[in-house]
Homo-oligomer: A and B are copies of this chain.
Amino acid sequence: MAAIKWEGVFPAVTTKFHANEELDHAEMEKHFSFMIDSGCHGLVTCGSLGEASTLSFEEKLAVAKTAVKVANGRVPVLANVSETRTANAERYVQEARDLGVDGFMVMPSVLYAADAFEAKANLRTIAKAAKLPIMVYNNPVTYKVDLTPADFKELSDCEELEAIKESTDNIRRVTDLRNAVGDRYAIFMGVDDLSFEGLAVGADGLLAGLVVAFPKETVALYKLVKAGRLAEALKLYQWFMPLLHLDVSSKLVQNLKLVEALVGAGNENVRRPRQPLRGADREFVVQVVQQALATRPDVSAYL
C-alpha cells in the first residue's frame, strides 16, 4: 500500500461532458493538468461535484483512468466510491486499484441512510477490498449518515482508513475529532466556505470545490494559513467568500461549472436531470464572478 501525503489542496474535480452528455476525456485531461500545474496536491474523481449519481460504473472507472494518466505520479489520484450497493463498491475498488489509482474517497452509505453500525460495516468491507489508503467522506447534510468522533475512534484499527473529509458543516467537529482521536486520521475540510476556519483549527488539507476555477487562490489560502500568516490569509478569504458560498448549494455542480466557464476553465454541460442555471440563479453567479474578477488579488507571491 503506497503512501499518500495527506496535506494540501485536493480538488474534487468536475466531470466534463460533451453537449450530448457523453464523457469528454480531452477536456478532462486539460482540466486535470490545469489543477496539477497550478499547485494542487491531489485529485479526487467523481465525487458529488463530479456528478457521480449520473455516471455508470464503467464511466467512473474511465474518468479515474484519465486522471491517473494525467497525474502520472505527480500527485495522488483518489477515486470516489459512490456505489449504493456494498457488493458493487467492493468490485469498484478492485477494478480501480487495478487501473492504478492511489487511493479512494469513500462515502459511508449513499442513498440509504444507514445507521452507524451499518455504515461502519460498509466501510470496513470496502476497505478490505480496496487495499489502498482511504479518505472517509462524512457528509450527513447531503447523505444523512453521520459518523461521529466516537465512531472514528472505533474504526481506528481499520488501517486503510487514513483520512477524513469533514463535511458535517459543523466546524467544531474538527476539534472534537482531534480530542477524540488525535492525529490518527488526517483531516481535510470538505466545505469550501469553512476552509479558513478548518485550517485554523488544524485541518491538514482542503478537499475543495472552487479550486476547479481558482486553483492558485485556493493553494495560496492553504499556504498562508499553514505559514501562520493569518492576516493575509483572512484578507484573501474575505475576497474569496462569495465564490466559496457557491459550493454549498443543491446546485453546486451547475454553479461551479458556470464559474469554470466564465473563467475559461470548462463548460456548462451537465447530465439531466441537472440543467444549467437559469434566470436569477444564473445572474447571481455571473455577478459574483464578475465582482471577484474585478477585485482579484495577486497571489503569485504566496505560491
Residues of B contacting A245 with CB < 8 Å? 172
CB–CB A118/B275 < 8 A: yes
Min CB–CB distance A2 → chain B (angstroms): 28
CB–CB B21/A87 < 8 A: yes
Name the residue in A53, A117, A251, A273 with the highest tally of chain B Cβ atoms < 10 Å from its Cβ: A273
Question: Which one of B21, B85, B200, B278 lies within 8 Å of A200 (CB-CB)?
Answer: B200
Q: Mark A120-154, 1 if CB is under 8 A from B, else 0.
A: 01100100000000000000000010000000000
Residues of B contacting A104 with CB < 8 Å? none
Residues of B contacting A238 with CB < 8 Å? 175, 178-179
Residues of B contacting A21 with CB < 8 Å? 87
Min CB–CB distance A107 → chain B (angstroms): 10
CB–CB B85/A272 < 8 A: yes
CB–CB B273/A144 < 8 A: no
CB–CB B201/A250 < 8 A: no
User: How many residues on chain A are close to B (CB under 8 Å)?
Assistant: 51
Residue of B nearest to A275 (CB): B118
Q: Mark A83-96, 1 if CB is under 8 A from B, else 0.
A: 01111000000000
CB–CB B201/A234 < 8 A: yes
Which among A32-40, A157-165, A191-199 touches the partner chain?
A: A191-199
Question: Which one of B178, B193, B231, B273 lies within 8 Å of A109 (CB-CB)?
Answer: B273
Tell yes or no: A299 within 8 A of B by CB. no
How many copies of this chain are found per oligomer? 4
Residues of B contacting A85 with CB < 8 Å? 53-54, 271-273
Tell yes or no: A283 within 8 A of B by CB. no
Residues of B contacting A185 with CB < 8 Å? none
Tell yes or no: A237 within 8 A of B by CB. yes
Tell yes or no: A111 within 8 A of B by CB. yes
Residues of B contacting A200 with CB < 8 Å? 196-197, 200-201, 230, 234
A sample of 27 cross-chain residue pairs with beta-carbon separation below 8 angstroms, ordered by A number, consists of A53-B84, A53-B85, A54-B85, A54-B112, A85-B271, A85-B272, A86-B271, A110-B111, A112-B273, A113-B250, A115-B250, A118-B273, A118-B274, A121-B273, A121-B275, A125-B272, A171-B171, A172-B241, A172-B245, A175-B196, A179-B241, A179-B242, A197-B200, A200-B201, A200-B230, A200-B234, A228-B230
Binding site for B on A (CB under 8 A): 21, 53-54, 84-87, 109-115, 117-119, 121-122, 125, 144, 171-172, 175-176, 178-179, 193-194, 196-197, 200-202, 228, 230-231, 234, 237-238, 241-242, 245, 250-251, 271-275, 278
Give 14 A-B pairs besides A54-B84, A121-B272 with Cβ atoms closer than 8 angstroms.
A21-B87, A53-B85, A53-B110, A54-B112, A113-B250, A121-B275, A144-B250, A196-B201, A197-B200, A197-B201, A200-B230, A200-B234, A201-B237, A202-B234
